[in-house]
Each structure stands twice: as structure tokens, then as C-alpha cells.
Structure 1
Amino acid sequence: MSKAPRDGRARRDWGADDSATPVLHVDMDSFFASVELAEDPSLAGRPLVVGGMGTRGVVTSATYEARAAGVHAGMPTGRARALCPAARFVPVRHGVYGEYSRRVMAILGQVTPLVEQVSIDEAFLDVSGSRLRLGPPVRIGRELRRRIRAEVGLPASVGIAATKGVAKIASSHAKPDGLLLVPAGATVDFLHGLPVGALWGVGGRTGQVLEREGIDTVGDLARADVGRLTRLFGPALAHHLHDQAWGIDPRRVTPGRAEKSVGTESTFDVNVSDRAQIEQFILGAAHQCARRLRASGLVAWTVGIKMRDADFHTVTRSTTLAAPTDVGREIARAAAALFAREPMPTGGVRLFGVRAENLQARAGGIAVTLDDDRRPLAAERAMDAVVSRFGGGAIRPASLLGESDGAGETATNGPGSSRGTRMEPTR
């Protein structure tokens, strides 16, 4: 659910010349909410919000009917309920969204091998080599939107431009459910009328500094002295921002982008002071991480934890394993050992997370210890098959039996890549 600044006055037609615009950015509209509508068409036409159900839940996705009432991603669920009391609120279901994502990406992969998936609901394509077979970029973009709608049942917006950065901005301005071409010759005119926050990567502190300096539009940024920008941001970021403002972006569409980590983190409805409860969460989170690693054919060399206390002080710790793993109980053992070395915060734990990092592909061959026991991996792969067929609640480690999946809000991140607890994607 994008919150990228958009100019409502921005033109929707910049010309029809797509001869020098090989880059497409496909962005699914309100992806999680759209999947929920596809799963239950009776929800269509009314405000729908996907997010955490707990007292500290946050909005992950919302339909445009809910957005019209002021609801947006990252907003506390309680605030969303106050703004849009008529909305239907549903919990996050990452397994379902992951399956829809795979179906969308499979369609994109039939157009070109140059597909760079950047999140669960968006990807770049370079269609330079597809023109002879499928036609010009605009025709390809229209056909992609048609197929995604017909075969997956979801709306998608497509931006078409000469570079990745401009294509991403174009898809944002094509929403909802549209297509926008920015011809190469119109790139500068298109960019310079936009709010500076529309540029990819401008946000948070960078956006605040630019606003303070009176740099409100991309055109303002383009005309700003590079020396001034360097004093504000340092030479690397200054030149990067200035290049983007002029539509200069040498980044290529890179398929098979390596994932750096997978993780699960949880904000608890009530701060937790019981060490055993955190240890139980670690076990469940570790198995979620491991399941995602196995689904992507990856193993992890490093396990990390993240702990935030009642005062929002955050501690992160990590450890490198003797051999890489995709076994949940091994990840849990390493994470629990890290946690055991940390004192329990006086006011309890507000958030806890488990991460598997430093990933490599299992298919390329991996190191193993001399006493390697294959039985736990075989058992967890058997669990994967049950979960795939019957859902996440069908089977779990014995020590987690009786735990409710619905006590808080769950989210994870990783390849492919977002309830008492709220487990969220960590990106």
C-alpha cells in the first residue's frame, strides 16, 4: 500500500512514444486488501482494512473506500476504526498473499526473464528483448494488466519509462488500476512538477531537511546547487538526488535479486515480563523463518534477535552458526541463547523479533557439521507439506500446542517479500 506523494494535478497523458521506454514497474493496487476481496467477493464495494487486530495493531492495507476516509498504511488500527467505523477489519494472512504474489510473478516471468521483484507486490521488468515477440512496451503493459486481472483476479497499475526510478513514480500516478507512460523526452517535464517526496528514496529525515531548505518540488531540487546539497547530505547522496531530479538513473533491472534476510517480529498487545513467554514466541518465530527459507531454497549462516522495551530502547544481537541452516529448531536454539544473555527489561518487552541472515542457496551445496542429523529437517519438510495443504494452524511444534494464532497481529518478511502479539514484516 503505497504512500508515495502524488500530485493530483499531474497530467495523465504525456504522449504515446514508447520507443525508448523499456522499463515497466508493475505495482499491485492495495495488494493485501485486493486479495481479501478476491477471496471473498461479498466484501466488494465497502471499506476494507487489513491489519493487526490487537490494541497495538497497525494498518497494512486498505481499499480505496477506506482511504477516502483517511485510512493509510502504518496507521494504528484503533485510529482507522475511529476514522472509518463502517469498515470491515480483517487480519493479515501472509500465506495467502504469498501464493497470489507467486501467481502474479509467474505471469511477469512469461514476458521477459528480466524481472526484478522488489517486494511481495511489485516488480520491474526490462522488455527490450520482448518487443519483437510481444510488441511495444505500452502493449505489453496493457496485456499484463489484462492477464493479471483475468488469471489472478487482481488489479495492477503499470508505469512505463526509460528508467527504474521514473517507472516507479509513473506506476504510483497510474493508480488506481491504470497505466501511465512517460516518454523518454518527457521525463524532465514529468518529474519537475512533482513533490520532492515522490523521488524514490526521499523520505524521513531527507524529506524533512529538503522541506526545511525550501526545496518542495523535484524541479526545486534539480535547480539546487550541488555544493549546497553536498553540505546538507554529503557528496554521495547529494549527487544521487540531483541525478534523480534530472531523470538520470543508471540502475538496470536485475533479476534474481538476492535476499539478505528473513525475519518475524512482534509488538505485543501488553508488555511482556515473563521470560518463558518470550522463549515460546522465539520458537514460533524461528519456525516461521525456517519455513520461508525452505520455500525459497535458502539457508542462513546468521541468526539475530531484536528486543524493544517499554521506553522504546531497542537492542539487537546476532550470532554466526557453525553451519548454515533452514531448520526451525536450530534457529530457535540460537535465538534463545542470544536472548538468555540479555537482562529482562524492567518495564517488560514491547517488541521482539527473530531474523535469519547471511543467506545462501541450498542448491549450490552447503557446509554441514560432522554430527549433522537430517531427521529434524525431514520432519519440518513434512510439516511444510501439511501447512501447504491445510493451512498454518494445522500443525506446529508440540510446545506451541494451545497457542492461538489469533491473539495478535502477525507479519513476516523475506523471499517471495508483511495476534497477544503482533508479528510484522521487518524490512
Structure 2
Amino acid sequence: MAFLRSLWYTFSTNTQPFRNTCVYHARAPEYLTHGNIQSADQPVSCLENLTDEGLTMTEHADTRNSAQKLLELEEIKKTLEEKVNERTQQLEQAKKEWERTFDAIDDPVVILSDDYKVLRANLALSRIVKQDIRNIINHNCYELLMERDTPCENCPIHTTVAEQKGLEAEIHQIEQGKTYHLRSFPMSQEPPRIVHEYRDITEKKAIQKQMMITDKLSSLGLLAGGVAHEINNPIAGILAQTQLLLMDSHEDNPFLEQALKEIEKAAHRCRKIVQDLLNFSRQKPTVQKEKQQLNQIIHHTLELYTLLPHKERTDVESNLDEDLPTSRLDADKLQSVILNLLVNARDASPSGGTIKLSTRQQGDNIILEVSDHGSGIPPELQEKIFTPFFTTKEKGLGTGLGLYISQEIIQEHEGSITLTSAPNEGTTFTIELPIR
């Protein structure tokens, strides 16, 4: 009995290993039919060699209730796991859709911290800055897109964080001459996160500027036409009277003769300016095309060129393709274009220089080139050379309308006029006219 008391004491003081466990003595097999043993869903322990008479001990616990609870918990666990897996798949799908949408946006979009660091960027930014997305992260936004060492002056990032509302600004990329419309949105406050969207509006600004210039030119053209007609008659009178005076001999007064020649030269220049204004006021010159030989037009133009007053001698070296085909051309209009190019080449050439003029056939086009050996046109000015009232000549020596009008005439012939120039290597104007 002392042994049994000791065994019971062991069970009662250290029950954790035996909870929900049925215990019986091997010498008492009749207890195998005991209800607790039959319904047990936990291990049943068999103790041997306790006594000869046999002994069965059970720790009282309702194992049927425990089993039911375990089954319920197992079902709940399974359901939760299924829901977690389903939600995880949904999140993965949403993440992929968001990334695809983010990268499909044509404009650069970045997520920034409040110290201008790029935390995330789309493929549009990667394409523009020509860097891999991984190399963009943690770089300053103004360094990547704006190519600056300091933040943009009017960047709204801090105002966006402080006011927690969307803002817009216009920022400029100086190096490439680009203009961006920036939209700034707050994303979160803690930690501060901001979304910036950059839209390139360089072309839009250029179109707006061109429209403004067109409106101004339209008004100016009307004014110029009226003024030119009013001035033309007095100039014609001055020129005629001066030429009459020059017909008389002034051997006794050479100073007077020289003064009259200067007046005549100034009158010619005024008439040229008036003619340019009249041509400019006709917004679209009307060309009268007839079957013409371009070389013949050039010969007539060279004759006129020799009659112009020349401050310094400049020779013209012509290399004309004698087999050039005829084409539908306006002789008078093209003559004014060629003469204008010759005068410009003369003014750009050094004293004693040579102007080269050549023609050739290239496919279905006629090519005319006029070259000088002057100082050339700087690259930053070349794109402005056909702009109305733009001139590289000294003040008072040009109206800035000659090349603009020449371009209009060539375009009326469905052709093109371009230039190539380099510092100290001269300038070449190339006219391309279709053979019609």
C-alpha cells in the first residue's frame, strides 16, 4: 500500500505528462472495457508489475469534449490559413497591377522623401535619365532629372508636406533647355512621403511662343505694308532727284558729287528696306511658276549682283551643272532669294574673299548651294537664322527679313533651305527644289 500511495503521489504532483491519459494495470484486462479508455483519443498507458491482484488508475478528464474542441480549432486554423493564402494572392496580384500601371505612365513619376531622395520611380524616369531603376533609388531628384547641384528654386516639396495638399509648379532643365510641369501630391505624413509627376511641356511652350509671334507678325505685317507704301513714294522722289543732279558735272565741287552719291546709296538702301517690308506684309507670297532653267535665273541674278554698290571686292565663283533639267519655277521670286544669299555671303566674307555658287541634280531634286568663307554662324544662333527680324549683321546693316522671306518663297516652291556653318569655316546655304 505504501508503494501505491507513492505512485499516486507521483501522479497527483506531476500530472502534466498524464493529462487526458488513461492508465491501467496489465493484470486487470477487464478494465480495458472501461468507458474512459474506450473513448480516449489520447495515449493509454499500461503499467506492469505493480501488484499481482491488478490495478487500474485513470485521471479523470472529459476527453470527448477535448477532442471536439481540437477538431474545431483545427477547422478554424485551416479556414484562417486558406483566407491568409487567398488574401496574400490578392495582395500579390494588386502589387503586380500597381507596378504595371506605375511603369505604364509616360511621364516620369517618383515617390520622394522630404529631403529629395528618390524612394521609388517608374520606367519613364529611367528612360529619360538613361539609368537602371536600381541606380536611381536614394539619389536626389534634382540631380537626376534637372541635372542640378541644388534643389529647384520653386520646388513645392516642403509646402506639399506642410499643407498636405496637391501643388503645381513650372521648373526648367537648363542644360537641355527643357521645361517641365510639376505636380506634387502628399502621400503620407509619418514618415513624410511625396509623389512628383513631371510632364515635359517644352514643345507646348514653343508652340505657344510661336503662336504669339505669329499674332504679332500678323499685326506688324499690316502696319509694315501701310508704312512701306507711304514711304516708298518719297524715297522714289529723293532717288530720282539725286540721280538727276549726278548727271551734271561737279568737277569744281567734288565734295558735292560725293555727297550726292552717298544720298543715292542711302536711298537705294531705304528702298530695299521698304521692299522687304512690303514682301513681309504679304504673309504668303504668291508664286507664278513656269517651266524655267534655274541656271538661267542664276545668270540674270549675277548680272544684277555686279550692279550693286560694293564696299569691298568679292568675287563669285560659279560651278553650274549644264545638264540641269527645267522645272516649274518663279524666276522673279527665286532671283530675289539668290540675290539675298549673295549679298549675305558678300557681307560675311573678308575683303578679297570668294563666294562659291553651284548647282547639281540629286535624284528628283535640283540643288543650289551658296558658300562663303566668313567667320561662320555660332551654333546657338543657327536655329534663329530664319526668324523674322533676326540678323547677325551690325546694327543698321540689315532688317532681319531677307532669310525669312527667302524661306517662305522656297517653301512655296515645295522645297527647303538649310544651312551648315562652323566657326571660322564659313557658311553654306543649300536650297533643294523638286523637279516638276
Report the TM-score when normalising by structure 2. 0.20
Q: More helix by proportion, 1 or 2? A: 2
Bigger radius of gyration among the two: 2
